[in-house]
């Protein structure tokens, strides 16, 4: 203690530990999801690794000593089965991390109803189901933490992918509402909004020239790595962020705070 402060100093290192806690990881098979499964496992968590591709679910589960499961996360019955399995495997659900989402590139003037509906299912419906069903499981056992992957496309304009941006904006609104409603049960709900991230899918689309053009706009000079997003998600579901809820953490190398003509 000092002369003016005798408050207890936590063991900060231990506040990142997740030993024995059971997490549902949605979209675990590659990119941000795979890195998140590794991050959680490295800190002692047990993981239910969800992916629509059964081979990817099995492969990541083998990497992190988790439990694989392949479902359609936009279908209520499938998501009910996810949480039933998580309770059966772990005894309770301590956390949910949802990475699922995909952008289709199309101008607003040309977008069709199928694309609009696809984006809202792929970026928002599964999150609604995860929040609702996850909270029902958590409220019976003392609470927990949820973290969702949003996007800077939901914070600002989203040219050429308007439905994706609208759905991600809706996701961040839902996160805020869930944080207020679920707080009484000790459940925290947050999101991470990545900027451009070099996932396997995005990396395959980038040429050296387009990558360099993107990086020239980013103050740090680097695209996100999937591990950068996993690190932010890990913070938000760990006890280190015990009083953080209803927020979206932007991870973008500073691009959204850069003056346009700098």
Kindly tell me if the per-residue pLDDT of 8 is higher than 90: yes
Give Cα 188 distance to the centre of its chain.
13
User: What's residue 262's pLDDT?
Assistant: 61
**Any idea which residues carry the catalytic annotation?**
151, 164, 168
CA dihedral for 198, 154, 125, 21, sign (positive or negative): positive
Structure confidence by residue, pLDDT tens digits, 113-139: 999 999 999 999 999 999 999 999 999
Compute the average pLDDT of residues 203-213.
80
Structure confidence by residue, pLDDT tens digits, 22-64: 999 999 999 999 999 999 999 999 999 999 999 999 999 999 9
> 19-198+225-251: what fold?
Rossmann fold (3.40.50)
Q: Give Cβ neighbours of residue 222 (< 8 Å, ≥ 6 apart).
A: 215, 253
- Domain range annotation of the chain: 19-198+225-251
């Amino acid at each position: 203690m000092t002369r003016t402060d005798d408050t207890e100093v936590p063991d900060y290192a231990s506040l990142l530990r997740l030993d024995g806690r059971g997490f549902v990881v949605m979209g675990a098979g590659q990119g941000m999801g795979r890195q998140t499964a590794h991050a959680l496992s490295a800190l002692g968590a047990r993981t239910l690794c969800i992916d629509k591709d059964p081979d990817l679910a099995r492969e990541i589960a083998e990497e992190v000593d988790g439990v694989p499961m392949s479902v359609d996360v936009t279908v209520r019955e499938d998501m009910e089965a996810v949480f039933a399995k998580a309770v059966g495997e772990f005894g309770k659900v301590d956390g949910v991390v949802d990475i699922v989402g995909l952008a289709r590139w199309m101008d607003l003037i040309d977008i069709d109803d199928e694309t609009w509906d696809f984006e809202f299912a792929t970026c928002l419906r599964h999150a609604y189901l995860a929040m609702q069903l996850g909270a029902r499981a958590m409220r019976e056992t003392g609470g927990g933490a949820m973290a969702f992957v949003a996007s800077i496309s939901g914070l600002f304009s989203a040219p050429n992918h308007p439905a994706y941006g609208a759905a991600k904006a809706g996701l961040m609104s839902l996160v805020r509402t869930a944080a207020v409603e679920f707080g009484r049960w000790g459940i925290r709900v947050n999101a991470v909004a990545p900027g451009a991230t070099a996932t396997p899918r995005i990396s395959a689309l980038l040429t050296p020239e387009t990558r360099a053009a993107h990086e020239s706009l980013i103050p740090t000079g680097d695209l996100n790595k999937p591990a950068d997003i996993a690190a932010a998600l890990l913070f938000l579901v760990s006890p280190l962020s015990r009083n953080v809820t209803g927020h979206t953490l932007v991870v973008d190398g500073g691009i959204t705070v850069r003056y346009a003509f700098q």
